[in-house]
Structure formats: C-alpha cells, structure tokens
Amino acid sequence: GENVEQHPSTLSVQEGDSAVIKCTYSDSASNYFPWYKQELGKRPQLIIDIRSNVGEKKDQRIAVTLNKTAKHFSLHITETQPEDSAVYFCAASFTGTASKLTFGTGTRLQVTL
Amino acid sequence: GAVVSQHPSRVICKSGTSVKIECRSLDFQATTMFWYRQFPKQSLMLMATSNEGSKATYEQGVEKDKFLINHASLTLSTLTVTSAHPEDSSFYICSAPENTEAFFGQGTRLTVV
C-alpha cells in the first residue's frame, strides 16, 4: 500500500518568514495530493491540493509543488502569520479524488511574533 | 462547502461497553464515507470504507467485528466500537467525499475508562 512520509515533524518560524513542509510518497499510482490544516481537537480543513498532471499550484500565500519523478511534494507558506500555527498533514490517493487518503505524519507549525 | 456532522463530539464509556458514533452528510448525499482514527500527536489512519447499502471494507489490521459500520442511508454512516477497552481511546473522525474533495466531521474523542 501507499506510504507517505512527512518532514519536519515540528517547525517554528517567525512571523513574516516562509515555511516549507515536504512529503514523499511510495506508490507511483498516486495522483491526488491534498494538504490539510488541523487545529487542536478540530477537523482537518483542506487548504490546497494538486493533481499529478500539474507541477505547481498557488493560492495567495500558499503554494504546492509536485515532482512525480522523485515522488515528492511540498507545501510552501509565505508571509506566515500567527493564525497559520496548526498541524499540517499531507496526503495521497490513487483515486484522483479525496477517497481513501493516506496521510503523512503531520507537521506542527508554530509562528512566533 | 459541504458539511459533515459527527456526533457525539466527546464520549466517555466504561470498559466492556459499546459506543456508537454517527456521521451525517447534511447537504449532500454520500454513497461512501471513510472512518479514520487519530491517536494523540499522530496522523489519521484509515480504518474502513463505509458503503451505502453494502458491507464496509476494512483496512488491514482493523477488526471488523469490533468496529461495526452501518451505512443504511445516503446521508448517515455509523461506527460502533464494541466491547471497548482503554486502548480504543482515540479521536475518531469520518469523512465524506463531495465531488473530488473530502469533508470531515468534527471528530469524536472516545475515552474508555
């Protein structure tokens, strides 16, 4: 089955700096890669996603890049704000949709003033 | 976006008893729902796929007789943890796909004492 590794497990940045979280996946059939933000005790919220036919996608301060050859994808957050502090999960699916997601281990992002 | 409602949000039960968790899609129909389990500071692990009108499919290592899933309608899936033990204490969360996106319930924190 699919295995998704995520690094780093914790990340502390100063407000205004950029944050980068990286994930690798093992199943070359995976074709859908969402990123979720989860605040303590709450449900995961989709922040951005990318499909295997695209190399990069951007939405305001958030961007995701995908390297299919190397089987890794990354989340980039620019101009970080304290409200960006949360746990971020990457995920992968071979279904082309958000069905049967395999999640990464999570990154706890702390944005300090 | 679509809304998925999960109840209860917290439950404490005695060892040996059963607990039922409900997951409802409020404004869309979901022929498939997914149940995940999340231990503290860990990732979401897919437990099973709930299929409306048919049997659920379980991931490897998940006991189907312990985690009973019923998906009797297009808007409701239930997970029953039978004969609960302290090691079943966890955060259980459901998701339902709408178009290509997954929408998560707010999760249920189960504590077995």
Q: In this complex, how many residue pairs, one in chain A and one in chain B, have their CB atoms less than 8 Å apart?
A: 58
| Residue contact B102–A99, C-beta within 8 A | yes
Which amino acid does the sequence have at A95? T
Q: pLDDT tens-digit profile of A25-83?
A: 999 999 999 999 999 888 999 999 999 988 999 999 999 999 999 999 999 999 999 99
- In this prediction, residue B56 has a pLDDT band, given cuts at 50, 70 and 90, of very high
Quick one: closest CA in B to A108, which residue? Answer: B41
- In this prediction, residue A97 has a pLDDT band, given cuts at 50, 70 and 90, of confident
Nearest Cα of chain B lies from the Cα of A98 at a distance, in angstroms, of 5
| CA distance readout (Å), B24 to A68, A100, B31 | 36, 18, 11
| CB-based burial label for B26 (10 Å; 0-12, 13-18, 19+) | exposed
Q: Is the pLDDT of residue B1 over 90?
A: no
- In this prediction, residue A3 has a pLDDT band, given cuts at 50, 70 and 90, of very high
Which amino acid does the sequence have at B20? K
| pLDDT value for B2 | 86
Closest residue to B106, CB basis, from A32, A43, A101: A43
Read off the pLDDT of each residue in B72-79 and give the average, rounded to a whole number: 94
Closest residue to B107, CB basis, from A43, A100, A104: A43
Work out the percent of chain A whose per-residue pLDDT is above 90: 85
| pLDDT value for A73 | 97
Strand pairing category for B76-81 and B67-73: antiparallel
| pLDDT value for A31 | 94
Closest residue to A43, CB basis, from B49, B100, B105: B105
Residue A93 is classified by DSSP as B
| pLDDT value for A100 | 85
Rounded Cα–Cα distance for residues A21 and A108 (Å) = 10
Quick one: closest CA in A to B108, which residue? Answer: A41
Closest CA to B77 of B56, B106, B108: B56
Q: Is the pLDDT of residue B51 over 80?
A: yes
Q: pLDDT tens-digit profile of B84-107?
A: 999 999 999 999 998 888 899 999
| pLDDT value for A41 | 81
- In this prediction, residue B63 has a pLDDT band, given cuts at 50, 70 and 90, of very high
- In this prediction, residue A86 has a pLDDT band, given cuts at 50, 70 and 90, of very high
| pLDDT value for B40 | 84
Residues from A in contact with B at Cβ < 8 Å: 1, 32, 34, 41-46, 49, 89, 96-106
- In this prediction, residue A98 has a pLDDT band, given cuts at 50, 70 and 90, of confident
Closest residue to A99, CB basis, from B42, B97, B104: B97
